[in-house]
Amino acid sequence: MRFEITEHPHRRYNPLLDEWVLVSPHRTQRPWRGRREGEPPERRPRFDPECYLCPGGIRANGARNPNYDSTFVFVNDFAAVLPQAPAPPAAEDPLFRLSAVRGEARVICFSPRHDLTLAEMTSAEIQIVVDLWAQQTAELGQRFAWVQVFENRGELMGASNAHPHGQIWATESLGSIAAREDEQQRIYHARYGRGMLLDYARREAQSSERCVLENEHWLVVVPYWAIWPFETLLLPKTAVQRLPDLDKGQRRSLAAILKRLLVKYDNLFEVSFPYSMGWHGAPYNGEDNSRWQLHAHFFPPLLRSATVKKFMVGYEMLAEAQRDITPEAAAQRLRDAADTHFNS
């Protein structure tokens, strides 16, 4: 039998994380009688007086939000990391290691409108969010080595509130995934003298098999090593280390491509598409970070419809990640998704 990548099981290597993913394309036809996620919620009001993220809303700690008319940032009232946390005693035991963590967690509201999502905001409004991400990254980068900007969108991804918002957790040290990306890019750069993701973007743009969208400065691909069914990687086409380094033109075209991507995501199953997304940029560690390339990951959990998600269980928990639909087929589905939002 001759190997067919669209049919036969194989493993693909993720050079960013130094791990493998099992691809089983022949499995997409299996029947599903398992869990279906709830139907999408009904339309929300523009303003919800009970919402703790709306302008004028009362937060859990009793503070009242200002009547903001664009974006709004505040320190997370239930922050996972704290700037002044006491350091634990040194622990040398290899089986019971412990380390200090200091940081700051913030919440960012993308819009005063309770009923919108980034996908339904205009590209000009998204650009304001891009500027805010960049400004926050620069500010927190003065005190912390890693600034993690992210968004959990939708109940399925654990968002606690439908109001359009994201989070930023900044820490003195790099999280495990950030550290692995840092190391992998370092190794690639030492070996080939070029940035891994810059090389990768060039190669993907040439073949276009896994490309979903492209504009002047940016490329969206379903990465060769994607784990989630419709996972994407958003990459600059030229060397950029961090969000604050983006110039005006790059920010404008970033907002435009984000808008197009999020509209396609929503149109795929005609549902406000759940995902976790986040930015990875060079750490603020005082080193020469020329190996680092800025990028964003989108990890959406849906698999076959608005109600059937991919479960990372069994083999995935015990051996390695696995996917059914190939990244090439997923890219095709996303390319085919309409460019006008189904709600408009």
- Which residues in this chain contact Zn ion in the complex, by CB under 5 A? 48, 51, 53-54, 114, 163
Nearer to ligand H2U, 51 or 257 (CB): 51
List the single partner that 54 binds among ligand H2U, Zn ion, none, CB under 5 to 8 Å by kind.
Answer: Zn ion
For residue 163, the minimal CB distance to Zn ion (Å) is 3
Of 161, 305, 307, 332, the one binding ligand H2U (CB under 6 A) is: 161
List the single partner that 96 binds among ligand H2U, Zn ion, none, CB under 5 to 8 Å by kind.
Answer: none
Of 14, 40, 48, 59, the one binding ligand H2U (CB under 6 A) is: 59
Nearer to ligand H2U, 107 or 212 (CB): 107
124 Cβ partners below 8 Å, 6+ apart?
A: 255
**Candidate segments 14-22, 71-79, 121-129, 175-183, binder of ligand H2U by CB under 6 A:** 71-79
Distance separating alpha carbons of residues 221 and 142, to the nearest angstrom: 32
AA identity, residue 48: D
Considering CB under 6 A, how many residues would be counted as binding ligand H2U? Answer: 12
- In terms of Cβ atoms closer than 10 Å to its own Cβ (0-12, 13-18, 19+), residue 59 is middle
Distance separating alpha carbons of residues 203 and 215, to the nearest angstrom: 16
- 52 lines the binding site for ligand H2U (CB under 6 A): yes
Nearer to Zn ion, 106 or 217 (CB): 106
Q: Specify the long-range contacts of residues 208-211, CB closer than 8 Å, at least 24 apart.
A: 209/328, 209/331, 210/327, 210/328, 210/331, 211/331, 211/335
Distance separating alpha carbons of residues 23 and 328, to the nearest angstrom: 12
297 in active site: no
62 Cβ partners below 8 Å, 6+ apart?
A: none
Of 109, 159, 306, 334, the one binding ligand H2U (CB under 6 A) is: 159
- 77 lines the binding site for ligand H2U (CB under 6 A): yes
22 Cβ partners below 8 Å, 6+ apart?
A: 9, 10, 11, 315, 319, 320, 321, 322, 323
- 78 lines the binding site for ligand H2U (CB under 6 A): yes
Pick from 278, 274, 272: which is nearest to 294 by CA? 278
- 152 lines the binding site for ligand H2U (CB under 6 A): yes
Nearer to ligand H2U, 31 or 62 (CB): 62
Kindly calculate the radius of gyration of the chain based on its CA atoms and give it in whole angstroms: 21
Query: What's the half-sphere exposure (Cβ side, CA atoms, 13 Å) at 326?
Result: 16
Quick note: the x/- pattern for ligand H2U over 163-192, rule CB under 6 A, is: ----x-------------------------
For residue 131, the minimal CB distance to ligand H2U (Å) is 21
Distance separating alpha carbons of residues 338 and 260, to the nearest angstrom: 10
Nearer to Zn ion, 88 or 158 (CB): 158
Q: For residue 50, what are its two tokens?
A: 């009970």
Single out the catalytic residue among 10, 114, 163, 165: 165
Q: Specify the long-range contacts of residues 246-250, CB closer than 8 Å, at least 24 apart.
A: 246/130, 246/134, 246/294, 249/216, 249/217, 250/217, 250/218
Of 23, 107, 130, 255, the one binding ligand H2U (CB under 6 A) is: 107
Of 67, 160, 290, 343, the one binding ligand H2U (CB under 6 A) is: 160
Nearer to ligand H2U, 219 or 277 (CB): 277
Could you list the residues that contact ligand H2U (CB under 6 A)? Answer: 52, 59-60, 76-78, 107, 152, 159-161, 167
Active site residues: 165
